[in-house]
Amino acid sequence: MITVDVKLSDRSYPVVVGTGVRDELARVLPSSAPKAAIVTQAGIGFAVDPGREHRNFEIPNGEADKTLATVERLCRDWANWGLTRADVVVAVGGGLVTDVAGFAAASYHRGVPVVHVPTTLLGMVDAAIGGKTGVNLPEGKNLVGAFWQPIAVLCDTDALATLASRELRSGQGELAKYHFLADTDLLALDLAERIAAAVRIKADVVAGDEREDPDNRRGRAILNYGHTLAHALEIETAHDLRHGEAVAIGLAYAAALARRLGRIDEARVAEHHRVLEAYELDAALPTGVDHDRLVALMGRDKKAIGGLTFVLDGPDGVEVVPSVAEADARTALEDVS
């Protein structure tokens, strides 16, 4: 069992990684909370015991239901059950579950404590850590949300044993990102150590920039490396591409764009492809996607400042780069087609 602390002054919390750590749930919940609302999805099949009165609340599967309507239904169900601010929410599932449950917890009674028990690799290394919650609008991904830090995160690697290969690969897309955010050879580590290393990298970034200061070019926004194109691809493909699959393509695209802007050399581009190949991830755009639509969608990205804005590698590491020329963004799309 490995514990990584996300250090946020008086609101620090543990992320526990290892086999069987779901059994720690009762211990990490507030002893004063009489009830626990467990938010999950049908088919996850990962039971937890909060050690007090509890009820399961299932939300729909699929990005199409990651909406304000789902949050409303969830909060109304909580109200009918009698959930109060003295109680606690437990999110058990992938990134969609922790995003929706976390946002609902942040909003209900203006804030109810939440514990995340991610059951996917993607959730363990990214979605459940750092307090970003939110839902989608038709106009873009995660455009409505809140910062709401959990009081604990339990990454039980037992949950990964039955994960579908494509779902596992999606998580590896996020893992690939961390290779370029810190000088750590993640491929040399076993799975639990690799998850903990990614959590540690993210925890350090979040501790230095919890709410993503738009003026901090090397702050929390660097965690969106590869995500500008990824989010556009998810929308353009109606989520046929999994998030991590889209991030992998986004990483290859970000490397191509950085090379075109003179920020990195061909050897660094090749390193991106080496890591993606090690995780057996595709680096090319799906055939038939509309480049005009992708550019328009990237322009709506929530971190956009002064035109097209990307997180790009460079001589000083990964950072936010605003005001990228549309012609360069379009040409880089051709580079990964």
**Which residues are paired to 144 by β-bridges?**
135
CA angle (65 as vertex; 250, 280 as ends), nearest 5: 30
**DSSP per-residue codes, 272-285:** HHHHHHHTT---SP
Alpha-carbon distance of 25 to 152, in angstroms, equals: 9
Which of 85, 137, 139, 125 shows the shortest CA–CA distance to 107? 85
Both ends of the chain: CA-CA distance in Å? Answer: 42
Which of 244, 21, 7 shows the shortest CA–CA distance to 122? 244
Q: Is residue 136 classed as helix, strand or coil in its secondary structure? A: strand
Helical packing angle, 243-260 and 227-236, nearest 10°? 130
Radius of gyration of the chain, Cα coordinates, nearest whole angstrom? 19
Task: Give, for 91, the enclosing helix (H) or strand (E).
Answer: strand 88-93
Q: How far is CA 212 from the centre of its chain?
A: 14
Q: Catalytic residues, which ones?
A: 110, 132, 174, 202, 212, 220, 224, 227, 231, 243
